[in-house]
Amino acid sequence: MGQLVVSPSPHARSSVSTPNLMYGVIAALLPALAVSIFYFGIGSLIVTLTSVASCVLFEYLIQKFLLKQTPTICDGSAILTGLLLAFNLPSNLPIGIIIVGAAFAIGVGKMAFGGLGQNLFNPALAGRVFLLISFPVQMTTWPVPQGLATNYIDAETGATTLNMLKNHFGNVADASQMFLGNMGGSLGEVSALALLIGFGWLLYKRIITWHIPVTIFATVFVFQGILYLADPVQFATPVQHLLAGGLMLGAIFMATDYVTSPMSVNGKIVYAIGIGVITVVIRNFGAFPEGMSFAILIMNAFTPLINNYIKPKRFGEVK
Amino acid sequence: MEIVLYSVIALGLLGLVLAAVLYVVAQKFKVQEDPRIDEIVALLPGANCGGCGYPGCRGLASALVSASDISGIKCPASSAETLQKIGKILGQEVVESEPKIAVVRCNGSCQNRPKANKYDGAPSCAFAATLSAGDTGCSFGCLGHGDCVAACRFDAISINPETGLPVVDETKCVACGACAKACPKGIIEIRNRGKKDRRLFVSCVNKDKGAVARKACTAACIGCGKCAKVCAFEAITVENNVAYIDFEKCKMCRKCAAECPTGAIHEVNFPPRPPKAEATEEKQPVQTNA
Amino acid sequence: MFKTFKIGGVHPEANKLSAAKAIVGAQLPKTAVIPLAQHIGAPANAVVQKGDKVKVGQLIGEANGFVSANIHSSVSGTVSKVDLAVDVAGFKKPAVYIDVEGDEWLETIDRTDALVTEIKDDAKTIIGKIKDAGIVGMGGATFPAHVKLSIPDGKKADFLIINGVECEPYLTADHRLMLEKSAELIVGIKILMKAINVDKAYIGIEANKPDAISKLTDLCKNEQGIEVVPLKLKYPQGGEKQLINAISGREVPSGKLPIDAGAVVQNVGTAFAVYEAVQKNKPLIERIVTVTGKTVREPSNFRARIGTPVADLIAAAGGDLEASGKVISGGPMMGKAMTNLESTVTKGTSGLLLMAADESERAAAGPCIRCAKCVDACPMGLEPYLLMQYSQRQMWAEDEANHIMDCIECGCCIFSCPAKRPILDYVRLGKNTVGKIIRSRKQ
């Protein structure tokens, strides 16, 4: 027999590991990717592959040559960032712009803060918002769903549902079509159904808890409901707002990002209410038709504060 | 024009009132601090090593200023010259003490002390010491996780990758004692640097009986007492199966080191030992010098 | 509906390999090495010398103060020496070495199997007998039982909780005891109830032991005030605070003892030892030890004398040491990894677990991804990731402000961590240091 190993208890570990959580989330995104390819065709596939490949490559290069670490691209976090970034982009975005976005997401959004676990803001959203303010035209021309289209840059474009709702024009798709994803928008955000399937998977695998997504849904529903009841002509229905734009994608996959969301259950609820309220305010009163990305980034900034002030309920707490 | 005038008057008055308030508040809450504290802090190394026993250099400075007799309070990391300067500021005599250095009293290198089990936990001596007696048969020796290295503010101690034991850099060590305090096994001792930096010490703290200690480590002190017998100056005591050389009494004759059956007594910075035949002649001058 | 505690908890694989194995008596050792410090508190003072003849049950170590326990000889023979012996952690502690000759018991001990149900003694005598018998918490904590049963002035116990949870994976000693000594156990519980003057006792058993639950429930039908409470499977339900919470809904206030919530908790093993001590006059000289693991050919439950070398028990169960990388005294969640196999069975040895070589070493730790799994898993509602960071940076004041002293060291944080970080290592380091700081402040 070799030497006995002496380590502190516990000697048992759960089978959950960081890579397996990351790949779990990636698996949860696949239905939405499939729907996206179905509606937006080849463009969606090109954007996704470019984004994932460049995120992984930038992470590798930065770790290897700038930070002189052993690259950890196999843990799946860069793949996930790439996938989420792609999901927030229109499917006709030129490849060059995607690469710039990926460089920003990984380089500034993640590695500049110290890599996995250290970043203050969701890297994919940081990349997306960077592109949105750097390339406002390209980032807001949305292809219309055509069903397995084979054109990429030259796809037929149209307005997103949120834009129509805000500025009162065009024919807004009915709720069931919106639920399936048959509307214009970023490539991964359109199908509420596919995203909810992913949500179910995440809950089943215990990768995330229900608190953040459900609280966001509830907040948006209630707040938008109040606005709608106050003035049904000016404001859209809460159901339309739940299904349109990046709300589902943001609430299920972006707001629940481990690194940038609060640790305690109560903290998560406060954070989610904040996201819901800010989203509704931006969507109804702000300059942009969509406010999910900004709402999440703003609440990301509040996360350290929330962690500091909202603590989990302790056992046997003496008041 | 009137507007300008009124604005200037109004703002001017406001400024005066606020200045008065600020002045009153500043006077009322003024912290009276001895100006000598700042002077002393400027002289201290500023590493906040805690070797003096006070919270940082400023803590030591204020303790020095408020003490009536400073003989027991001093910065172990400062040179004699600096200490004299501090004494001058305070108008007190500073008694010069022997320069000191940290000494690692364990020789349980990988060859001397074979591993008996494999530690697989946080790399912290303080924690490993609570978990088990260590990964060798010796429950007194160095654990090798480097708490001393982390504690040193002067970059003066490092783990030798070959032996797995800490090594003190003589040029950098200021004998602040942070490493000695950090070591959960208490194997680091602050000893006199000695003349020409020559030192003689028992590099082992194993309190086990001779046979047990020897089994765990070939370089262990087995408490045989040969060194104590050979010592002409009563500098060596054997207690709990381990010998200790009192550096105040030791005259550096090195007889004990020659006598030690396990080589647990270490000689530092001595010239190489002459061949055996001349040994007795050589020792004579060393003794008379001392 | 099964009850459970309300905050945190994890679900490690149960792996109760030896659940169906009846308890068998282990062979007497050739030499018994009986440590004098087998409990929390001061070590006992040896009262025998080299050359003394001793019988089974004879006092060989006298309790040194109130928080200490008597030590009795578990074998008959000659004391060969009183010397240091290596414990599981590799430290050398005083022990009595006895060369075994035959198996001669003190005449005062009733060795028959007859069930003695009538409880003649009053509370004071009972506690006195428990103290004399050297009984300690048999779940592994080894806190002297008489100290726990001596309720301080001004406090009152409302009920007794008997801990039959055995939430540690692999271990089955308590499970087998509940099945095989149920009647004795019930008498033991009644003795304990009398000792602390309560008329209600609950036996908490986890749902993965349905046979024990049904057997004890049947027996309790005829008993006044003893109730079996089936509990949902969740670790660390066997922790005192968690068990009180699961059964009664009460919370032991932070920094206080179970008695402050009106509860006294004792392990089933302790209750059985109390029965033997009070009714049969038998001191604590043996205990049930589960020898198990995936590299053990015949996972078994042994009734072993205190002082039996652990190597003997491992050999008796067919433990394959070649294929094992780690031997644990206790269960996989809170047990101690042994540095050597020279130590012997003590009052707290609930099990010997052999881990396969490939499961023995920890996986490399990655960066914290702030997934909050440790926060969700912590049964004390702490933030383990934060305590670890503070301890790593030696920020002891922050550790204390974040209630590091509430940590029960159950290991749920490290169990659930996907990045395999050594969270609890650093939390323990912080707890030790903060504890020292608090003690020095009180002086």
β-strand pairing of C351-356 with C324-329: antiparallel
C106, C57 contact by CB (below 8 A): yes
Across the range B247-272, mean pLDDT stands at 88
| Residue C64 · residue C39 · CB < 8 Å | no
On the question of pLDDT at C442 being above 90, the answer is no
Checking DSSP bridges between strand C201-206 and strand C159-164, what pairing results, if any?
A: parallel
Contacts of A20 in chain C (CB under 8 A): 418
Say if residue C185's pLDDT is above 70. yes
pLDDT given at position A1: 55
Give the end of a domain, one of C361, C385, C407: C361
User: Does the beta-carbon distance from A8 to C321 stay under 8 Å?
Assistant: no
**B215-252 pLDDT, tens per residue?**
889 999 999 999 999 998 889 999 999 999 998 888 88
Per-residue tokens: B236: 């060596």
Interface residue A306 vs chain C (CB under 8 A): no
Residue (of C256, C236, C263) closest to C7 by Cα position = C236
Mapping DSSP to helix (H, G, I), strand (E, B) and coil, where does residue B190 land? Answer: strand
A243-257, B25-39, C82-96: least confidently modelled range: B25-39
Residue A142: inside a domain = yes
Cα-based distances in Å from C386 to A14, A266, A310, C20, C392:
21, 17, 13, 42, 10
Contacts of C340 in chain B (CB under 8 A): 116-117
Mutation site for C-interface testing, chosen from B119, B127, B140, B206 by largest number of C Cβ within 10 Å: B127
Write down the pLDDT at residue B54: 81
C174 and C238 part of one domain:
yes
Q: Do C20 and C38 contact (CB within 8 A), yes or no?
A: no
Q: How far, in Å, CA of A251 to CA of A243, rounded?
A: 12
| Secondary structure letter of residue C288 according to DSSP | E
Residue in C92, C425, C432 nearest the CB of B139? C92
Query: Is the separation of the CB atoms in A1 and C324 below 8 Å?
Result: yes
Neighbours of chain C (3+ CB pairs under 8 A): A, B
Topology of the domain covering B100-289: Alpha-Beta Plaits (3.30.70)
- CA nearest to C363 within chain A: A13
CB contact under 8 A, B127 and C92: no
Q: Band of the pLDDT at B270, cuts 50, 70, 90?
A: confident
In this prediction, residue A73 carries a pLDDT of: 87
Average pLDDT over every residue of A116-137:
92
Please report which confidence band the pLDDT of residue B271 belongs to, taking 50, 70 and 90 as the band edges.
confident
Inter-chain touch B131–A8, beta carbons under 8 Å? yes
Does position B106 have pLDDT exceeding 60, yes or no?
A: yes
C353 and C425 assigned to the same domain: no
Structural domain of residue A135, as residue ranges? Answer: 18-307
What confidence score (pLDDT) does residue A319 get? 67
| C63 part of a folded domain | no
Residue C61 in any domain: the answer is: no
Report the neighbours of B using a cutoff of 3 or more CB pairs below 8 angstroms. Answer: A, C
Mean pLDDT in residue range C3-14: 92
pLDDT at A69: 86
Q: Nearest CA to C245 among C8, C53, C428?
A: C8
Q: Do A6 and B135 touch (CB under 8 A)?
A: yes
Pair A73, A106: CB distance under 8 Å: no
Q: List CB contacts (< 8 A) between B206 and chain C.
A: none
Query: First CA to last CA across chain B, in angstroms?
Result: 93
**Pick from C361, C395, C412: which residue ends a domain?**
C361
Dihedral angle, C-alpha C439, C440, C441, C443, nearest 10 °: 90
**Percent of chain B scoring above 70 in pLDDT:** 94
Strands of chain A, DSSP E: 4-6, 142-143, 157-158
User: Is position A259 within any domain?
Assistant: yes
User: What does the CA dihedral C138, C267, C14, A205 come to, rounded to 10 degrees?
Assistant: -120
Give dist(CA C214, CA C230) in Å, integer: 10
Q: How far away is chain B from the Cα of A6, in angstroms, using its nearest Cα?
A: 5
Mutation choice for A interface testing from B117, B124, B125, B136 by most A CBs within 10 A: B117
**C432 and C333: one domain?**
no
Question: 127-186 in B: which are within 8 Å (CB) of A?
Answer: 127, 131-132, 135
The answer to whether residues C196 and C281 belong to one domain is yes
- Domain hosting residue C402, numbered range: 373-442
3-class DSSP state of A217: helix
Q: What Rg do the C-alpha atoms of chain A give, in angstroms?
A: 20
DSSP code, position B154: S
| Chain A touched by B17 (CB under 8 Å) | no
pLDDT cut 90: percent of chain B above it: 35
Q: Does domain B35-90 have CATH number 1.10.15.40?
A: yes
Identify whether residues C295 and C435 lie together within a single domain. Answer: no
**Does some domain include residue C92?**
no
Q: Please give the pLDDT value at position B283.
A: 41
Which residues belong to CATH 3.30.70.20 in chain B? 100-289
Q: Is the pLDDT of residue A212 over 90?
A: yes
Whether residue A316 lies within 8 A of chain C, CB to CB, comes out as yes
Among C303, C331, C361, residue at a domain's last position: C361
Question: How many CB atoms neighbour CB A117 within 10 A?
Answer: 19
Distance from the Cα of residue A143 to its chain's centroid: 20
pLDDT in tens, C281-330: 999 999 999 999 999 999 999 999 999 999 999 999 999 999 999 999 99
Say if the Cβ atoms of A312 and C367 lie within 8 Å: no
Rounded-to-integer distance, Cα C89 and Cα B137, Å: 11
Do C334 and C214 share a structural domain? yes
What DSSP letter does each residue of B86-123 carry, written as one string?
A: HHHHHT--------EEEEE-----TTTS-B-EEE-S-S
C428: which chain B residues are within 8 Å (Cβ-Cβ)?
127, 130
The pLDDT of A65-74, averaged and rounded, is 87
Residue B280: the pLDDT is 46
Q: How far apart are CA A245 and CA B172, in angstroms?
A: 63
The beta strand positions in C168-285, using DSSP E, are 201-206, 226-231, 263-267
Helix, strand, or coil (residue C287): strand
Q: Nearest 5°: CA angle at C105, between C103 and C111?
A: 105
| Set of chain A residues whose Cβ sits within 8 Å of the Cβ of B131 | 6, 8
Is the Cβ pair B121, A8 closer than 8 Å? yes
- Structural domains counted in chain C: 2
- Say yes or no to pLDDT of A297 above 80: yes
Give the mutation candidate from A1, A3, A6, A13 for the B interface (greatest B CB count, under 10 A). Answer: A6
Characterise A185 by phi-psi region: left (phi > 0), alpha (psi -120 to 50), beta (else). left
Whether residue C331 is contained in a domain is answered as yes
Q: Kindly report the backbone phi and psi dihedral angles of residue A76, in degrees, each rounded to the nearest multiple of 5, phi listed first.
A: 85, -5
Average pLDDT, chain B: 85
Choose between A174 and B241: higher pLDDT.
B241
How many structural domains are present in chain A? 1
pTM for the whole thing?
A: 0.87
Mean pLDDT of all residues belonging to chain A? 90
- Minimal C-alpha gap between C337 and chain A (Å): 5
Per-residue CA distances from A220 to A274, A286, A299 (Å): 10, 16, 15
Q: Which CATH number covers residue A103?
A: 1.10.3430
Query: Is residue C241 classed as helix, strand or coil in its secondary structure?
Result: helix
Nearest to C275 by CA among C145, C158, C140: C145
Name chain C contacts of A75, Cβ cutoff 8 Å. Answer: 366
Answer yes or no: do C383 and C298 share one domain.
no
Whether B124 has its CB under 8 Å from any CB of chain A: the answer is no
Q: Half-sphere exposure (CA, 13 Å, Cβ side) for A291?
A: 23
Smallest CA–CA distance from A7 into chain B, residue: B120
Residue A75 is assigned to a structural domain of this protein = yes
Residues C323 and C249 placed together within one structural domain of the fold: yes
Ramachandran assignment for B175, one of left (phi > 0), alpha (psi -120 to 50 degrees), beta (any other): left
- B110 close to A (CB below 8 A): no
- The C-alpha atoms of residue B92 and residue B116 are separated, in whole angstroms, by 55
Encode pLDDT of C87-121 as tens digits.
999 899 999 999 999 999 999 999 998 899 888 89
Say whether residue B13 is in contact with chain A using an 8 A CB cutoff: no
B116/C92 CB distance under 8 A: no
Same domain, residue pair C383 and C308: no
